[in-house]
């Protein structure tokens, strides 16, 4: 991997770790999702996959996890 790609990934990981933990394991899920997106981008360069749909699916999955966790925590806090 070229040096500039490594630096970009390092910066992305640092920024992910700076994101507030909005729910249990959010930062690790965010890093996992970003890693998946980077991998999809690499695959797209090689084979021209339908990258937009794949990335949308990954982000939607992360959003659903966050929504589910936040809905669960608000129910617990409201009792």
pLDDT in tens, 9-56: 889 889 988 988 888 888 888 999 988 888 888 888 777 668 888 889
Pair of tokens at residue 69? 């966790």
Q: Is the pLDDT of residue 79 over 50?
A: no
- Over residues 49-65, the pLDDT tens digits come to 688 888 899 999 999 98
C-alpha span between 19 and 72 (Å, rounded): 20
What is the reported pLDDT for 69?
A: 87
C-alpha span between 51 and 42 (Å, rounded): 10
CA 59, chain centre distance (Å): 6
Cβ–Cβ under 8 Å, residues 25 and 68: no
Pair of tokens at residue 44? 């797209």
């Amino acid at each position: 991997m070229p040096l500039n790609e490594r630096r970009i990934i390092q910066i992305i990981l640092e920024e992910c770790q700076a994101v507030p933990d909005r729910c249990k394991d959010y930062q690790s899920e965010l890093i996992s999702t970003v890693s998946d997106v980077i991998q999809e981008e690499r695959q797209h360069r090689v084979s021209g996959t339908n990258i937009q749909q794949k990335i949308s699916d990954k982000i939607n999955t992360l959003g659903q996890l966050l929504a589910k966790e936040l809905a669960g925590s608000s129910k617990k806090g409201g009792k």
